[in-house]
Structure 1
Amino acid sequence: MVHIWDCGAGQLRELGSVSAESSGYDEAVDRGGAWETPAVAWHPHEPQLMVAGEGRVVRWSPAGPADLNGPPRTACYRSLAFSPDGRTLWATPSSGDEDNPWDSSDVLDPVSGAVGSGPRWDTGIAEHPGGGLVATLRSDQGATYVLFARVDHETAPAAAMRVLRRALILDVDGYETPVFSAD
């Protein structure tokens, strides 16, 4: 479950929660399943949070939670990220390739519910402070690639990541969303 809190006026108060009906750790293990932490992404400009877990994507806003139309109920997203302009939600692994879901990602239009295909990525996506460039990590079992991409906002129905032909190769294990320095 994901709780949303406000820290206004010097006091902490709960605004709402998403996926309150989710299975707890003990329940998921008892049923022979795996327990997964929900994937979350904050909208870059609006008070809006997307939460993916247990076959659904929920949009939380101050008005409350609502299921996002579009992704199939079989979607099992491990990471979510908004495009820098906030018009597109990127989700991985893909819901459209049952045999190789990690070979691509989904590109979701939160307004229309349209689902398209995007490039493979494994972690959250970081936007460069100067704009126009994003970075993410992708594992290849022997190394980890830092992928850089331009964001094409003219692509319909949703912004697409155009992965550049150059990548930084790292020898790491246990990785998270990359971070750009402020300068």
Structure 2
Amino acid sequence: MIIRTYQDSDIQPIVSLFYETVHTVNKRDYTQKQLDAWAPQAEVASKLAAWTESLRRHITYIAEIDDVIVGFSDMTPAGHLDRLYVHKEFQGQGIASALVKRLESDARRLGLTEIDTEASITAKPFFQRHGYQMIQPQTLERRGVQLVNYKMIKHLPPDNRDGEAASG
């Protein structure tokens, strides 16, 4: 697996990956009505344009295996982990962990002391295993349908790459 920075040519495959992942992986925690509100097929064209702009502004990484995009994640420069999706056929292979580790490293390099996200019911255990703490559950409304997710945060220790032990 390689992790590389986002390129505009990635937009079509990652939007497709998003829709497929939401409608397959997340169906164990959300109803079909909720999935359709979260990722409606009628919205693909507008999402291509909107995501192209936001992914350019964010710190965005793509995970590839054998030239196939198998995951992506992005974070705002202020430390909000916005999107993290792994292809439905590549779940449980460490792809999400590698993407989050890369974003957390960038956050430390930028001098950020925390990173936050809004995790789905499905993703909450993943983030908890990676040191994120739940701040609060949230109920969002999308297209008249209520969806539950969780505001989560991780406090980042300073990047201590110089090898010096902290004194105190």
- Flag the structure with higher helix content: 2
Larger relative contact order (Cα-Cα within 8 Å, sequence gap ≥ 6): 2
TM-score (norm 1): 0.28
- Flag the structure with higher strand content: 1
